[in-house]
């Protein structure tokens, strides 16, 4: 499973990239607004921090406008993935961009039928939002399961990018289903490393080792 971080905080991205476990980055207009920085400048900086795909989202609502914005965003790095919303215009833009070899991430997906449309439009990634789905009383992870079944039925190449992840259990559930990618906030990724028994065991080993009076180097 690939790990993307969902943030526009470049320091967090740099720190997580240093683990060697970060495969890409996703951003959205809300995350850019939260950063308080210029969109184009942040995306260009992120594109240099990671080798993998960096999703930069268009904000136009018509396909021609999205394509114009995509042209600009693609100048910011050779790993830029254009993020478009799951609308008719978004999928029109997706088809044109994908046909020209550009990686497209179709975002704001809330149904398996929407995911089917995105795959037919040639999307490199489909982003179903599990947390927001759960929030309104639906089964976010059930949606991932459905999309996986549909994509496997037709051997689509579109990767399932589980988005709007809120906690480590979402990551585990997505991995059990076999989703290709997950994108999560930095805090959720950091939480994956932790277990109280690891901390307890390490403290006991350190205390016992100190009693030996030895050193390795």
Q: How many C-alpha atoms does 168 have within 13 Å on its Cβ side?
A: 8
Site size for ligand E4P (CB under 6 A) = 11
Give the residue from 128, 107, 111, 112 showing the smallest Cα distance to 180: 128
CB 29 within 8 A of CB 210: no
Q: How far is the CB of 135 from ligand E4P (least distance, A)?
A: 8
Chain centroid to CA 207: 40
Member of 3, 5, 6, 13 binding ligand E4P (CB under 6 A): 6
> Which residues are known to be catalytic?
83
Q: In angstroms, what is the minimal distance from the CB of 201 to ligand E4P?
A: 33
Establish if 183 lies at the interface with ligand E4P (CB under 6 A): yes
Closer of 173 and 183 to ligand E4P (Cβ): 183
Please say whether the beta carbons of 74 and 82 come within 8 A: yes
136 or 210: whose CB is closer to ligand E4P?
136
The CB-of-125 to ligand E4P minimum distance in angstroms stands at 9
Binding ligand E4P by CB under 6 A: which of 70, 106, 163, 182?
Answer: 163
Q: Which two tokens stand for residue 115?
A: 């995911």
Please, which of residues 27-56 interact with ligand E4P by CB under 6 A? 28
DSSP code at position 75:
G
Cα dist from 17 to 10, 22, 92, whole Å: 10, 5, 33
Cβ 162 to ligand E4P, closest distance in Å? 9
> Within 119-148, which residues bind ligand E4P (CB under 6 A)?
127, 129, 131-132
Residue 180: count of CB within 10 angstroms of its CB: 16
Binding characters for ligand E4P, 88-107, by CB under 6 A (x = yes) = -------------------x
Q: How far is the CB of 142 from ligand E4P (least distance, A)?
A: 17
Q: What is the SS3 assignment for 173?
A: helix
Cβ 28 vs Cβ 107: under 8 Å: yes
* Binding stretches for ligand E4P (CB under 6 A): 6, 26, 28, 107, 127, 129, 131-132, 163-164, 183
């Amino acid at each position: 499973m690939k790990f993307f971080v969902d943030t526009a905080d470049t320091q967090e991205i740099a720190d997580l990239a240093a683990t060697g476990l970060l495969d890409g980055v996703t951003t959205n207009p809300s995350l850019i607004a939260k950063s308080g920085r210029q969109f184009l400048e942040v995306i260009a900086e992120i594109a240099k921090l990671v080798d993998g795909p960096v999703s930069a989202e268009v904000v136009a609502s018509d396909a021609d406008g999205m394509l114009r914005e995509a042209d600009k965003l693609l100048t910011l790095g050779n790993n830029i993935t254009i993020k478009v919303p799951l609308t008719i215009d978004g999928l029109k833009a997706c088809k044109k961009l994908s046909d020209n070899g550009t990686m497209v991430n179709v975002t704001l997906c809330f149904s398996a039928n929407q995911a089917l449309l995105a795959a037919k439009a040639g999307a490199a990634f489909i982003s179903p939002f599990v947390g927001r789905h759960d929030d309104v009383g639906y089964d976010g992870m059930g949606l991932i399961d459905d999309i996986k079944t549909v994509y496997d039925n037709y051997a689509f190449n579109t990767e399932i990018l589980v988005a709007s992840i809120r906690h480590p259990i979402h990551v585990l559930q997505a991995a059990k289903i076999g989703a290709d990618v997950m994108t999560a906030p930095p805090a959720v990724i950091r939480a994956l490393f932790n277990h109280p028994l690891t901390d307890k065991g390490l403290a006991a080993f350190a205390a016992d080792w100190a009693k030996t009076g030895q050193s390795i180097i």
